[in-house]
Amino acid sequence: MFKSFKSDLEIIKARDPAARGLVEILLCYPGLQALALHRVSHRLWKYGLPLIPRLLSQMTRSLTGIEIHPGATIGQGVFIDHGMGVVIGETAEIGNRCLLYQGVTLGGTGKAHGKRHPTLQENVVVGAGAKVLGAIKVGANTRIGAGSVVVRDVEADSTVVGIPGRVVHQSGVRINPLAHSALPDAEANVIRNLMERIDQLENQVSSLQSYLHDISEGRNPQNITSGKAQSLKDKEIIEFLGEKNDS
């Protein structure tokens, strides 16, 4: 238990630039406090003691704003940053060096007994307000974007965004675990692609109309062209989506 506490302390020093000293971390980091108390309640839970582990869990919730069921299994070097509103269910499993932000829920689905909460493998980052629901598995080194809702298994080395969560692979790219907001906007990319396609089709229709008009007037028709039209009216959509970043 002491080894786990030490690893939780070291990961805060390594990952949080706001951590200025040991005393400050011990007194002012509710994530560390919640994990330390959870490790005690989890040990009591494994011993089969009735009620006491749940009472300790409720006390931890009142003190830190973080609710961790004593049955949850949590690895070493886990960092719950800020932590207010974090909920971790009974059969949840969290691997080593995972990072959870405020408002995260590792929740269950259904009323059946047994495994009903998610499993996070090593080095998973779950952004603020994200919900991971059901007995699913999230592979190692995966990032889940803020506000996402994940209800299906996720392979390792993936990025998940949206509701429901959609997977974007980023093989071979080193990711800063604190940059949980630096995620691709999959929906915006889809909208841009559709707008470009619509723009191209409008250009072709306009070219066909000119071709038929030349034939009806007895003139030699111009070749049918395709490409981006220059008269796209939906400028507010472009402004909303922002400039496309090709880098």
pLDDT tens-digit series, residues 123-134: 999 999 999 999
Residues 228 and 144 in one domain: no
Q: Is residue 247 in a domain?
A: no
Q: Is residue 180 in a domain?
A: no
Q: Mean pLDDT, the chain, as a whole number? A: 80
Confidence at 180, pLDDT banded by 50, 70, 90? low
Confidence at 231, pLDDT banded by 50, 70, 90? very low
Determine how β-strand 87-88 pairs with β-strand 67-68.
Answer: parallel
What secondary structure does DSSP assign to 209-221, as a single string? HHHHHHHHTT--P
Which structural domain range is residue 124 located in? 2-169
Q: Is residue 181 in a domain?
A: no
Q: Which of 112, 135, 169 is the last residue of a domain?
A: 169
Q: Is residue 175 in a domain?
A: no
pLDDT in tens, 48-60: 888 999 999 999 9
| Token pair for 20 | 């200025």
As a whole number of angstroms, the distance between CA 36 and CA 44 comes to 13
With a cut of 90, say whether residue 8 has pLDDT above it: no
Which amino acid, one-letter code, is at 226?
S
Q: Which of 123, 144, 169 is the last residue of a domain?
A: 169
Confidence at 222, pLDDT banded by 50, 70, 90? low
The dihedral of CA 46, 111, 61, 59: what is its sign? negative
What is the average pLDDT across 215-232?
A: 62
| Contact between 186 and 161 (Cβ < 8 Å) | yes
Domain count, the chain: 2
Residues 43 and 124 in one domain: yes
Residues 39 and 65 in one domain: yes
Residues 111 and 231 in one domain: no
pLDDT of the residue at 204: 79
Out of 17-21, 76-80, 166-170, give the one with best mean pLDDT: 76-80
What 94-97 contacts at long range (C-beta under 8 Å, 24+ apart), as own/partner pairs, is 94/120, 94/124, 95/119, 95/120, 95/121, 95/122, 95/123, 95/124, 95/140, 96/7, 96/122, 96/123, 97/11, 97/122, 97/123
Phi, psi values for residue 206, rounded to 5°:
-65, -40
In which residue are the tokens 């952004």 written? 127
Phi, psi values for residue 27, rounded to 5°:
-95, -25
Residues 59 and 128 in one domain: yes
Q: What is the CATH number of the domain that holds 138?
A: 2.160.10.10
Which comes out higher in pLDDT, residue 66 or 166? Answer: 66
In which residue are the tokens 């409720």 written? 58
Least confident of 139-148, 182-191, 211-220: 182-191
As a whole number of angstroms, the distance between CA 146 and CA 116 comes to 23
**Predicted model pTM:** 0.69
Q: Is residue 177 in a domain?
A: no
Residues 165 and 203 in one domain: no
Q: Is residue 85 in a domain?
A: yes
Residues 27 and 108 in one domain: yes
